[in-house]
Structure 1
């Protein structure tokens, strides 16, 4: 006679919860194991699903009133607790309950193996999610630290490292989950080696972009925030990713450029100029007196040199050309500014002042004109 398990003794001999007819139904076998085990597992799963929202709310409340996040807001644990850790932690507690239920039911045979693999796979998924949040918190701490340093290299390295670590966590986590479900990951990887050549050929563009991003990261032809020109594309670098670099144009669209192209093309980095040149030709009418031209040039030159953003040694304001319909005055100088908007703002201010000087001195600007002489012949 088969010996009863401890759970069966408790349910059917030590307790008097069920009458003999119900006991007979519960002891009968359906789908490889007794009905009472199916009922017990169903009850455990239902209880787990019911208490999960309660556990979620409790953990969320504990996080909200945690003194660490308030007293030390920029620490690793503060960043970690600000992520959605309460959801996976609630699920982990529920899955542990289901593990315990399976143990109490004393599952046997292949079903016990499948049940254990399934529960391990589920708990691995949520643990990997917690590890993902840990990486996110660590990268936030690193970003805070690098923002205080004078070097800009580490500012670019942190987002790159963050993405690399997150991808590593996801890939390794996927393999661990497969292993938890009972699959032989090493055999699977060995089998994939047969198609490695085809995969390498298909992924050569991706590999080129990855090496391009590494080249950009270490060679540093530009960095986030720089104004760059690549071929016919121009704008401000917003993000340097694994596959591509995103450039925000001056008409506010977003261009995604593969890093392989960025690494091999000529990049004109306008953002690292120590100064930005402004060059303009002012055309005066031919009726302007020489003394007026000379005084106008002196006054404009004096004003431009007095601007704090202008490099005084680079200022050139001289009458330099007889044009077809104007006397040309060359205005050339360099501004000590670092962004496009700042450059345009100072350039506008100087140009408007030049207009005011011209109006004050009654100097007129020329525009293309043409004089046509006609001769009328009278025939007698």
Structure 2
């Protein structure tokens, strides 16, 4: 089961946002009619309004701020009173603003201000008239009335205000002392003392609700997750162990936020407190969604890594790790954009600015981009894979990690060499890990006293050895007399050894060298020394008996027409193939 560290929680942000950004559905039937949709009209460029009414988000946030300051005259500037009857309008904008606040406190379902459009034209794809924006609903006299913002053009610039389509349903009198559920439960001292125009008890109640709803969500999700594990174990024994755990925390947070929003509405918490907390709830919502996505990336990647390891498909490991990191970087970018949008930054303008500044950034980060592209080419072309033994320039070692920016190589000295991917992709890479055969090509330097017939004997016998050895590929397998050196006559061997890895090759090479040394000794000659000798005593010289025996053998081949020079006949090659026991007799190793 994967372990999730705290930094992963800080990077993640995604599950509730969609539900919260679209608003919580109301339970009651809305009876008030909605304005019919009309074709959108062009808007003049909005200038700065001191009250921030040029966008739906700014208009509603300004109204909430004015209510928090208990400045009802200022709050009236956010109301469209033009469509009200004279009798209602005669009450004054401040009184209507105050009664609207009471109605919103006692029963309303309003979207978080950060979920409202921050564009002067508002949302154009909501099915409403272009100058109308629905931001929630409010309960008035046992019916649920849509809460609208309307764009008015009474001044030089269009401004958004709370629509008269909603205000006309406000009762002429609302009992402010009726109190909500939370007011009835709070001690009088917490109701009378206020902060930001709201009883202190409402702020404390929100904190208490947050803790309570999280505890409830935690207990509920624990029961559901435990049941889900038991069901999955019975029906799908091989399901990924971390899959259920990946969902646990995001769902827990999501459920806690949904319970928190619903509880705050039903308890009658002030609209001011709810709107101030809405920014936090949306932020936590995005945190949960990206946390879920982050964990699912880990679960899927871990499953793929385990499967590829079992299949010995080590080339896929680098690709999986690379794309895991890439997806997490993408999630981090999405989370950052979402957080900036929640805190009121104009993300659209910022992205446009990045498009203009992208050239300058790219010029300043050429090496970084080059390394990223180089890493991607290493993953796709796979000249090396994790675990490959290779040579890069003067560096020889094993590939331990192919990252997004660099590749790590563990050398034979057990040091770690880090090479940027852009540099690595442009170098000559010699990969030793996937050799099908190993080249065996020693040069034998013989003493100058070696006779031509002894050379012929060695050529025949060593070639027979190469053809007969079961771990040597007979095509090609040759030995040739290549010339006279400064201190020796030279014979060159060219053959390929069939070995599964380098250690196996060293075993076979050792056996070949020992057999060649036996043949050289049997021929009566010896290996030359790359030096000059001063003989101060009589030299025993070479064995004349063995030399005569080797010459006699060559003469026999010559007389019978069987001298296999310059090449062996195919029939003789087939006859010799695999006829030598390997490992040699007496060896403690039994080859399989």
- Name the TM tier (shorter chain): 0.7 to 0.9
Aligned to 1:167: 329
What is the CA distance between 1:86 and its match in structure 2?
Answer: 2.9
Aligned partner (choices 28, 32, 44) of residue 209 of structure 2: 44
Number of aligned residues: 361
The answer to whether the Cα contact below 8 Å between 1:226 and 1:269 also exists between their aligned partners in 2 is: yes
Aligned ranges 1:198-213 → 2 under 5 Å: 198-213=360-375
The answer (yes or no) to whether the contact 1:121–1:181 under 8 Å persists in 2 is: no
Secondary structure (helix, strand or coil) at the match of 1:313 reads strand
Quote the offset at 1:307 in angstroms: 3.6
Q: Is residue 2:504 matched to residue 1:350?
A: no
Q: Which runs of 5+ in 2 are unaligned?
A: 1-174, 537-592
Provide structure 1 residue ranges, at least 5 long, that are not aligned to the other structure.
13-22, 375-380
2:189 equivalent among 6, 14, 25? 25
Counterpart check, 1:4 vs 2:168: no
Deviation at 1:128, TM superposition (A): 0.9
Q: Which has the higher contact order (CA 8 A, sep 6+)?
A: 2
Is the CA contact 1:79–1:140 (under 8 Å) kept in the aligned structure 2?
Answer: no
Structure 1 residues 283-315: Cα deviation after superposition (integer angstroms, max 9, x where no partner): 344566665554444443333333444221222
Aligned equivalents of 1:326, 1:55: Cα separation in 2 = 88
**Is the aligned partner of 1:67 residue 2:232?**
yes
Instruction: Find the partner of 2:426 among 229, 242, 264.
Output: 264
State which structure, 1 or 2, has the greater radius of gyration over its C-alpha atoms: 2
1:69-123 residue CA offsets vs partner (Å, 9 max, x unmatched) = 87352x5xx3651654433333333344433443344444554223111122112
Could you tell me which residue of structure 2 aligns to residue 249 of structure 1? 411
User: Whose helix fraction is larger, Structure 1's or Structure 2's?
Assistant: 1
Structure 1 residue 130 displacement after superposition: 1.0
Deviations 1:261-289 (A, max 9, x none): 23333334445555332221233445666
Closer/same/farther in 2, CA of residues 82 and 94 from structure 1, 3 Å limit: closer
Whole-angstrom distance in 2 between the partners of 1:118 and 1:353: 81
SS in 1 for 2:408: strand
Task: Find out whether 1:305 has 2:470 as its counterpart.
Answer: no
- Whole-Å Cα distance in 1 between the matches of residues 468 and 218 of structure 2? 69
For the 8 Å contact 1:121–1:178, the answer to whether it is kept is no
Matching of residue 276 in structure 1 with residue 441 in structure 2: no
State which of 226, 242, 264 in structure 2 corresponds to 1:102.
Answer: 264
Aligned to 2:590: none
Residue by residue over 1:230-273, the C-alpha shift from the partner in whole angstroms, topping out at 9 and shown as x without a partner, is 32223344444332333343444443322222333333444555
Quote how far apart the aligned CAs of 1:11 are.
2.0
Q: Could you tell me which residue of structure 2 aligns to residue 234 of structure 1? A: 396
* 1-structure distance, mates of 2:486, 2:442: 17
How far is the alpha carbon of 1:2 from its aligned partner?
1.7
**Counterparts of 1:70 and 1:342 in 2: how far apart (Å)?**
46
Is this contact kept in 1: 2:443–2:491, CA < 8 A? yes
The TM-score normalised by the length of structure 2 is 0.51
Q: How much does 1:52 deviate?
A: 7.3
